[in-house]
Structure 1
Amino acid sequence: MRWTWAAGRGLLALMVVLTGYVAAGASADDRAPDGRGPLTLATGGDLTGYLGPLLAGWNRDRPGERVTLVELPDSSDETYAQMTTDLRAGERSRFDILNIDVNWTSQFAAAGWIRPLPRERFPLDSFLRPVVATATWDGRLYAVPYVTNAGLLLYRADILEKEGLAPPRTWAELENAARTVAPRYGLDGYAGQFLPYEGLTVNAAEAVYSAGGTILGDEGERVTVDSEAAREGIGFLARGVRDGWIPAQALTYKEEESKQSFSDGELLFLRNWPYAYVGASGPGSAVAGKVGAVPMPGPDGPGTSVLGGSNLAVSSHTPHPDTAARLLAHLSGEEVQRLVLTRGSLPPVRADVYEDPALIRRFPYLPTLREAVLAAAPRPKSPRYDQVSLVVQAVVQDALTGRLTPEAAVRRLARELNAISSGS
């Protein structure tokens, strides 16, 4: 998953200089009794490089609390594997702060790998309301939201204008235009991220949520997917592949492949994160100046996107929890949050950034993204989220390829998710 995350789906980009880095983490001499001292922050691969210079300012002003950045692989699966391996090392862990995909928060918290945080130290009331839910587990705050994301429907504004059509607000409008208008212009109709990986979990969850359903409840203890809404949501996607307005090629798409297809002028509609809007509107895109974006549609009106983004969490074994908390407050402050957008091209979590007229002129999709985030929902919370996601991917892929009917897919999902929930 790209930084789309989730933007999800990739993780946040950070620059890192590893020269002189001590792999064992803070030494005994670094363990200040007041909880202050140097930190190591782990994150996924660097895509923009904006945060390295930003943290250089923190390090210059606080020489006794320097932050060393450790850049893990671009692949979210590899980043997850390296983070969890390190966290399982306990007191031998190298990492003090982890920049984690929002859907890892519940699993890391349930495992005891990250520590609960005092709510009063962070500007939670300044955040877009839904993002805080991605940072909680069992009623407690375990991370601080840093970057958010929500899926948007990108569309060819020039073509819809020629046809006298408004951007689709319902599945029926999307399907009709994808099936009838797109072929007249030599285009495929609609694509998302339908390769079996985290992106497929996101697309499937959005379809189920938009139809009014859920997948899990009670922090993963209750399976709720066996519903008419789930059958309707999965059926909508499966019908698109069967009838051809979702091209078969889309079953191989992750975020970047689908973005490229849209930017090359091959698609009428695309579900993706806001970074794809920026790319399709920029230099080198065949559709620059011809792109619009609206919230994802649903059966009867605007649908529900899945929240992407990243949260900053503190290792349970850090020797410097006070410095860690102050760094998290700094990174979620207004000044840094503006830089998240203007230098990193990533969606910030603070609500006031979305209302700045100057920023809206520079990033015209901000009002649409704000609307999408406010209507969005987290992925299913579970202490076994990695297993949940793998099951969703496998079952939904079978539905999209016609190996299972939507009805059979939902029954199988319920059965396998119940097995995970019960620990069997």
Structure 2
Amino acid sequence: MSVSRRGFLAGLGGLGTAALLSACGSDSSGSSSSSAGGGASGSFTGKGPITFAIGKDTTGKLQEILDGWNKAHPSEKATLKELSESSDDQRAAMIQNFQVKSDAYSVVAMDPIWVSEFASQQWVQALPSGTDTSKLLKSSVDSATYFKKLYGIPFNTNGELLYYRKDLLKAAGVGVPKTWAEMWAAWDKVKGTAAAKGMTAYAGQLSKYEGLTVNFTQAVLSAGGTLFNEEGKPTATSDGAKAGLQALVDGFTKGYIGKPNLTYKEEESRQAFQDGKVMFLVNWPYVYAKAAATDGSSKVAGKFDVAPVPGIGSGTGTTVLGGWNLGVSSFAKNKASALAFAKYMATEDVQKAWTLASSQAPVATSLYSDAEVIKAYPYTETLKKALDNAGTRPKVHNYGDVTLAIQNAVYPALSGGTGVDDTLKSLQTKLEALAK
């Protein structure tokens, strides 16, 4: 599973008939027979059977959602093509099909970091101008956009949150931190107390893997910086990028971030917080249910809460998005049906059913004030605030090379091997070469 698609929260929910039958009608641009619309045509024409390729559904609910579409559209049946649970394997399977111009996949579930690659290779089609996304989270729509063109309909989203020990903050008489400076100041008030014995201030995902790219990008964005500008040119030596990396490095050198963080991925950092070893944690929403468990597995149940990730300096805390965007393959048949199906998956009834069943965050804005969703996921309104100000990892056609360059540059800086300026100058040079 991708680091960016950790669940909204472990939850249960039924799929009512109304949700199943509330289908979005087929796109009006497509009225030809099922044999039309194949190849790499740029038009969204052709109605008929389609296939939906997505990572393995561990909930068992996705087929029920497709059954709803199929009942309402018997001549445009959608067949589920479940791929591996591994996001790398999913991407590889999709690319293999694209490279031979196969029509085996009509609609593909893209991680936001794949959108730029798939779009630049013309493997997925830009959606018609004027496609209505007004009822969807703006940040999720942005994650499906490449050079101002929309290449997918958002299906679900995700963003990291700041988990904090509310009991320790209350005892110290300090509020919830909105900046890294406030976070460290709060820890300085707490660290000498008996309750903080054996603890450090902070945990994140800082091992040398994709989570490091997520955490570093969040720090840069939260300091008001970028790694690439809107024209796709690297900006790794910008003031904001320097401030973001400096904050992480200072966290280690000043003892706020413990050395074990250099080995932490999602689960290791979650366990550290859940075991009462850290006061603050940045991680995905799936952690909430595990940390709140009252079966004895969590030492912080009832003692924590969540907030948006903190800002750095004068910057506003900015989480990095995860999730799935549904793109239409350039080689698909029946593109009108494929586009209509993608829109159907973003309708409110489908979104609610999938959210309650899968624990994944919805893209329909209305659900963030839905009483049933809030009851199931108590942090829903906080997550909405985080998602409203969310950003993305670099939108580049060769993301795999870029993320490796980031990890190879940043990790030595965190472990004390290189200085901030030298690190970012080296990274800038590498990114400029990759951008050519």
Gaps of 5+ in 1: 9-28
Gaps of 5+ in 2: 9-32, 38-44
Select which of 131, 145, 169 maps to 2:140. Answer: 131
Separation in 1 of the partners of 2:191 and 2:94? 43
Separation in 1 of the partners of 2:351 and 2:279? 33
Task: Report 1:97-112 matches (<5 A).
Answer: 97-112=107-122
2:30 matched residue in structure 1: none
Task: Report 1:186-205 matches (<5 A).
Answer: 186-205=198-217
TM-superposed deviation, 1:240: 1.6
Task: Report 1:154-165 matches (<5 A).
Answer: 154-165=163-174
Deviations 1:375-416 (A, max 9, x none): 111222111222111111111111111111111111111110
Task: Report 1:385-424 matches (<5 A).
Answer: 385-422=399-436
Task: Report 1:170-189 matches (<5 A).
Answer: 170-178=179-187, 181-182=190-191, 184-189=196-201
TM-superposed deviation, 1:41: 1.6
2:240 matched residue in structure 1: 229
1:86 aligns with 2:100: no
Separation in 2 of the partners of 1:207 and 1:294? 16
Q: Name the SS for the 1:277 alignment partner.
A: helix
Separation in 1 of the partners of 2:415 and 2:83? 34
1:13 matched residue in structure 2: none
> Which moved further from structure 2: 59-68 or 409-418?
59-68
> Which moved further from structure 2: 400-409 or 260-269?
260-269
Task: Report 1:20-419 matches (<5 A).
Answer: 31=35, 35-90=46-101, 92-121=102-131, 123-178=132-187, 181-182=190-191, 184-220=196-232, 222-284=233-295, 285-286=297-298, 287-298=300-311, 299-300=313-314, 302-419=316-433
2:26 matched residue in structure 1: none
The one-letter code sitting in structure 1 at the alignment partner of 2:265 is K
Q: Name the SS for the 2:94 alignment partner.
A: helix
Q: Is the 8 A contact 2:178 2:309 kept in 1?
A: yes
1:2 matched residue in structure 2: 2
Separation in 2 of the partners of 1:333 and 1:185? 49
Q: Name the SS for the 1:304 alignment partner.
A: coil
The one-letter code sitting in structure 1 at the alignment partner of 2:157 is T
Q: Is the 8 A contact 1:6 1:149 kept in 2?
A: yes
1:16 matched residue in structure 2: none
The one-letter code sitting in structure 2 at the alignment partner of 1:408 is D
Separation in 2 of the partners of 1:71 and 1:180? 50
Q: Name the SS for the 2:162 alignment partner.
A: strand
Q: Is the 8 A contact 2:34 2:49 kept in 1?
A: yes
Deviations 1:57-82 (A, max 9, x none): 22334333222222222222222222
The one-letter code sitting in structure 2 at the alignment partner of 1:399 is A
Separation in 2 of the partners of 1:64 and 1:269? 53
Q: Is the 8 A contact 2:7 2:359 kept in 1?
A: no
Deviations 1:285-317 (A, max 9, x none): 412222211111112464111122210111100
Residues 115, 409 of structure 1: alpha-carbon distance in 2 compared, 3 angstrom cutoff = same
Residues 49, 302 of structure 1: alpha-carbon distance in 2 compared, 3 angstrom cutoff = farther
Separation in 2 of the partners of 1:300 and 1:161? 25
> Which moved further from structure 2: 339-348 or 274-283?
274-283
Q: Is the 8 A contact 1:158 1:291 kept in 2?
A: yes
Q: Is the 8 A contact 1:6 1:101 kept in 2?
A: no
Separation in 1 of the partners of 2:174 and 2:49? 57
Q: Is the 8 A contact 1:3 1:309 kept in 2?
A: no
Q: Is the 8 A contact 1:193 1:200 kept in 2?
A: yes
Residues 219, 55 of structure 1: alpha-carbon distance in 2 compared, 3 angstrom cutoff = farther
Q: Is the 8 A contact 1:277 1:291 kept in 2?
A: no
Separation in 2 of the partners of 1:83 and 1:68? 16
Deviations 1:125-149 (A, max 9, x none): 1112222111112222111111112
The one-letter code sitting in structure 2 at the alignment partner of 1:233 is G
Q: Name the SS for the 1:70 alignment partner.
A: strand
The one-letter code sitting in structure 2 at the alignment partner of 1:155 is Y
Deviations 1:137-191 (A, max 9, x none): 2222111111112221011222222222222111112123345635724223211
Q: Is the 8 A contact 2:163 2:304 kept in 1?
A: yes
Separation in 2 of the partners of 1:340 and 1:291? 27
Q: Is the 8 A contact 1:171 1:300 kept in 2?
A: no
> Which moved further from structure 2: 92-101 or 306-315?
92-101
Separation in 1 of the partners of 2:395 and 2:346? 23
Separation in 2 of the partners of 1:278 and 1:292? 11
Residues 262, 361 of structure 1: alpha-carbon distance in 2 compared, 3 angstrom cutoff = same
Q: Name the SS for the 1:155 alignment partner.
A: strand
Q: Percent identity?
A: 39
Residues 248, 179 of structure 1: alpha-carbon distance in 2 compared, 3 angstrom cutoff = farther
TM-superposed deviation, 1:49: 3.2
- Ranked by relative contact order (alpha carbons within 8 Å, sequence separation 6 or more), the top structure is 2
Separation in 1 of the partners of 2:4 and 2:291? 14
TM-superposed deviation, 1:7: 5.2
Deviations 1:327-382 (A, max 9, x none): 11110001011123211111111111112244323322111111111111122211
The one-letter code sitting in structure 1 at the alignment partner of 2:377 is F
Residues 401, 104 of structure 1: alpha-carbon distance in 2 compared, 3 angstrom cutoff = same
